Amino acid sequence: MTLQRRQFLQGAAGATAAFALPSLATAYPARPVRVIVPFAAGGPNDILARIVAEKLSARLDKQFYVENVGGAGGNIGMGQGAKAAADGHTILVVPPNLIVNPLLYASVPYDPFRDFDPVTLAVSAKIVLAVHPSVAAATVSELVALIKSSPSRFSFASPGVGTPPHLVGEQFRLSLGLDLTHVPFSGGAPAATSTLGGHTPILFCSLPPVIEHIKRGGLRTLAVTSRTRAQALPDAPSMSDAGYPEIEGEGWFAFIVPSGTPAPVKVTLHREIAAILALPDVATRTAALGFEPVASTPEVCAAFFRGESEKWTRVIRTAGITAVN
């Protein structure tokens, strides 16, 4: 499923026109709300959570405070969230780890479908397929031909095992039958540095760590790995434009709550978060992070989670990917 701006517009409009809420929603929140970020402070997950939490505090007249609960690829924080009271006073801001971790780890302390209710798929983050300028390929098809002509020669860098860029890279390798070696790094910046230095000639990475290198010519973008182009790189073709619509994956961040949270509370949270993401100052700040607004309804978000699980289950099982503890 493609994350498109029209979902954002539809979601915001739908939230604005939401039905009259029972008295529970008008009393919500009754006390400060904990916003769990299952990673350390300072990353894009944390920054998005703090931007939205600050606005929610002002709009709903109660403090929404961010609590960073890092460790085990997000499993510890998401496990805590799964056990929290389902009253709307604990919410989580999560990346694809929510869906991917149960496919990578032998066990995780939560079930993404049983233990949580979606509130909104808040933003998407495009992933780029880029190469070092020395690579003799200006298009995806040229890169595919080059890899096939030189077995065992090429490798691709990613921000780490199980990250969306890694999984898209594996999808690219498997769907096209390429002899391509994965080289994982501890984040997007070191992965990009390796490709900039020509050590790993191909790179799959989210936009924020690489966009300035692309603009300066240090990296050549062949495509964004989605069905739609990136707002920040309008001249870069999508994978559909490049002729490979089956290769599709994006990063994203979603707001979720413990399963069983009252529907009026979820409606309130969705309405407010959709409105916040539409604010000009928030749009500017999130765009600087490489995010594009989505603000989908809870129902669309739930369907998206199912689709992500099905897609990455196939890739992870075929490639034999497991988490490195």
Is residue 289 within 8 A of residue 48, CB to CB? The reply is yes
Extract the tokens encoding 235: 């001249």
Q: Which of 22-31, 39-48, 193-202, 258-267 has the lowest mean pLDDT?
A: 22-31
Q: Quick one: fold of 5-124+250-319? A: D-Maltodextrin-Binding Protein; domain 2 (3.40.190)
d(CA 270, CA 206): 26
What is the average pLDDT value for the chain, to the nearest integer? 91
Extract the tokens encoding 154: 């090429």
d(CA 69, CA 81): 10
Chain-centre distance of CA 298, in angstroms?
16
- Asked if residue 7 has pLDDT above 80, the reply is no
d(CA 285, CA 276): 12
Mean pLDDT of 298-308: 97
- Asked if residue 128 has pLDDT above 80, the reply is yes
**pLDDT on residue 25:** 43
- Asked if residue 286 has pLDDT above 70, the reply is yes
Q: Assign 17 a pLDDT band (cuts: 50, 70, 90).
A: very low
Cα–Cα distances in Å, from 204 out to 93, 112, 157, 225, 298?
Answer: 24, 26, 6, 9, 29
- The residue with tokens 């399963």 is 259
Q: What is the CATH number of domain 127-224?
A: 3.40.190.10
- The residue with tokens 């989605």 is 226
Orientation of helix 280-288 relative to helix 44-60, angle to 10°: 170
**pLDDT on residue 4:** 52
Q: What radius of gyration do the chain's Cα atoms show?
A: 20
* Cα distance from N-terminal residue to C-terminal residue, the chain: 30
> What digits encode the pLDDT tens for the residues 173-199?
999 999 999 999 999 999 999 999 999
pTM for the model: 0.88
Give residue limits of the domains in the chain: 5-124+250-319, 127-224
Is residue 125 within 8 A of residue 207, CB to CB? The reply is yes
- Asked if residue 323 has pLDDT above 80, the reply is yes
- Asked if residue 295 has pLDDT above 60, the reply is yes
Element (H, E) at 66: strand 64-68
- CATH topology match: 5-124+250-319 vs 127-224: yes
